[in-house]
Amino acid sequence: MSLEILGVKIHNYTIDEVLEKIHEFFNSQNQHYIVTTNPEFIMAARHDDEFRHILNKADLSVADGVGIKYAARRLGQKLKQRITGVDLLWEICRIAEEENKSIFLLGSKRGIPEKAAENILSKYPKLKIVGAECGYRRWHRHIKEKKLVEMINRHQPDILFVAFGQVKQEKWIYHNLPKLPLVKLAMGVGGSFDYISGKVKRAPSWMRNLGLEWLYRLMRQPWRLPRIITAVVKFSCAVRKDKNEV
């Protein structure tokens, strides 16, 4: 079951249905990738045909962002549940520990994926984290893409989390997953490593439940204002216009 917002497909699942899909992915012979679609993704996809194609070809596209919920309602569709990328990452780690699957953390800045790995292991001590390598800029400058792929293949992970920032990470996964034959599941995770490592504090649960996480981020990180404007104001206007044109 799926819904469509401004030409981007989103699977309309509850968290339990998503986790059931992930179990299926682990038992499949095929490779799979997940995207955590938010309003910024959808706005970027309006001007980037390749990115829109990647989002729509994803094996699983979850609704990350309260704006998706409101947009679906405005377009006459009902979203079952909003699922944030960082929450889904934690759930995948839980399943990976239970099913003896290995994980590789790729991206963010120096020291962040290593600290994130440490904190994940404190919660899931039996989980196999086979690698943690920092960000896009580092490997782009000093390690050719071929070498990065070779490094991941040497560690033989079942699951790959990529934190290169939105759009970049999804494109990287789409183009490189076929070169990583042992990876069963890949997902772009944006700033999740920052939260898990403790570098960035998440909004209190009551703010997240009210859909105000964006406001908390803005208060703590004012430089996010242009992104917030895109995710909240421009996205809302685009959805309203799309509805009026139907």
**pLDDT tens digits, one per residue of 73-89:** 888 888 999 999 999 99
Question: What mean pLDDT comes out for the span 1-22?
Answer: 95
Lowest pLDDT segment from 69-83, 99-113, 131-145: 131-145
Lowest pLDDT segment from 16-20, 98-102, 182-186, 231-235: 231-235
Q: What is the dihedral of CA 185, 44, 18, 75, to 10 degrees?
A: -160
Length in residues, the chain = 246
- Asked if 10 contacts 62 with a C-beta cutoff of 8 angstroms, the reply is yes
- Parse the chain into domains and list their residue ranges: 2-197
Question: Higher confidence at residue 226 or residue 13?
Answer: 13
pLDDT at 82: 92
Lowest pLDDT segment from 6-20, 29-43, 96-110, 189-203: 189-203
pLDDT band at 121 (very low <50, low <70, confident <90, very high): very high
Angle between helices 49-57 and 168-176 (to 10 degrees): 60
pLDDT band at 152 (very low <50, low <70, confident <90, very high): very high
Check whether 233 has a pLDDT greater than 80: no
pLDDT at 240: 82
Residue 29 has what DSSP assignment? S
Separation of alpha carbons 222 and 215, rounded Å:
10
Q: Mean pLDDT for the chain?
A: 89
pLDDT at 106: 96
- First-to-last alpha carbon distance for the chain, in angstroms, is 22
Percent share of the chain, pLDDT over 90:
67
Q: What's 2-197's CATH class?
A: alpha beta
> Which of 86, 44, 35, 83 has the alpha carbon at shortest distance from 63?
83
**Predicted model pTM:** 0.89
Question: What mean pLDDT comes out for the span 44-52?
Answer: 96
Question: Higher confidence at residue 225 or residue 12?
Answer: 12
Q: List pLDDT tens digits, range 166-210.
A: 999 999 999 999 999 999 999 999 999 999 999 987 777 887 777
pLDDT at 138: 52
Check whether 244 has a pLDDT greater than 80: no
